[in-house]
Structure 1
Amino acid sequence: MTGRKEDLREFRALRVGGIVKYGYNSVVEIKGYGMITNGEFSIRKVAYVEGLQHNLISVSLLVVGIGLKVSFDDEGSEIIEKETKTMLLKSKHKGEMYPLNLNPIKGKSAIYLLMKASTDDSWLWHRRHSHLNFKDINKLVLGDHV
C-alpha cells in the first residue's frame, strides 16, 4: 500500500474500492491500484490509500503471491527471485524496522519493455543479457536492437 499516487505506474482508479482497517480501528478506502517499479524490480497491484504516511508491503504477498524468497537477519532483508537466485532488493534494518529502499520510477513516463512485454518476456531478456538492468534493456528495445 502507498499514499504516494505519483509513484504508481499504470494507475487505475476505483469508483468503489475496498477498505483498509488500521490497528486502532480507523478505516480508510482504497482509491485505486497501480504498479511500483525501480526498473529492475516491480510490484503489481499496489493499493493507493490517500493519506497513508508510510508505504507498507505484505511479505506474504511477495512469498505466496509472487513466488519470491524473502529473508530477514540482524543485518537487514533480502528479496530473491527463487528460480534464478537473483538478488532483487537488499536493505539494511533500522531499529526494529526493515525498510525497503526501492527508489521508484515516477508514474507517467513509459518504460517500454515493462509496459509492452509480459513479465516473463522481460525477465527472459534480463537473463539473456547477463542480468542487464531493465533501464538498459529498454534502451535496446527503443533502438530496435532487440
Structure 2
Amino acid sequence: MTENISYLFDFEEINEGYVAFSENPKGGKITGKGKIRTCKLDFDDVYFIKELEFNLFTVSQMCDKKNSVLFTDTECVVLSSDFKFPNETHVLLWIPRENNMYNVDLKNIVPSGDLTCLFAKATLDESNLWPRRLGHINFKTMNKLVKGNLVRGLPSKVFENNHTCVACKKGKQHKSS
C-alpha cells in the first residue's frame, strides 16, 4: 500500500473499499492499484490509498514469491529465494505457514520429558538485603516473589532465613506483663 501514486505503473482505478488505521477508525479509501518495480524486487497489486502516511507491504506477498523475510529488533530484511542458512544451528524456531498464518504449536517447543530445574541459594548478604529492601517481608513471601518473577531485578535464588535481622527479631517480640 502506498500514498504516492508516482511510484505505481500499470495503474488502474478501482473501488475496493476501505482500510482501517488505528488513528483514523474510518480509515482510507482504496482508489487504485498498480505495480512497483525496483532493481531487485517487484511488487504487484499495490493499493493506492491517499490517506496513508507510510508505505506498507505484506510479508505473505513476499513469501508467496519464494523470498524469505527476516525481522530483527531494528529492521526487516527480504532475502532472495536462493538464500540458505550457513549453519542450521542458528535456527532457534521453525514454524510452517498454514492458511497464511504462522501458528506456533507449543507442544513441539516445550519439552515433554523430565525437566531439570536448577536453583541457587542466595548468599547471606542477599538473604538479608532483599527482604530489607522490600519492607522486611518474610522469607516464604520472598520466595513466592522469586517463583512468580514478580519483582524486577530480584535474583532467581532460594532465600533462607538465617535469623540475623535485628529489626525482624524486634518486630516478632511481644511485651509480657
TM score, norm. by length of structure 2: 0.42
Bigger relative CO (Cα 8 Å, ≥ 6 apart):
1
Structure of larger gyration radius:
2
TM score, norm. by length of structure 1: 0.50
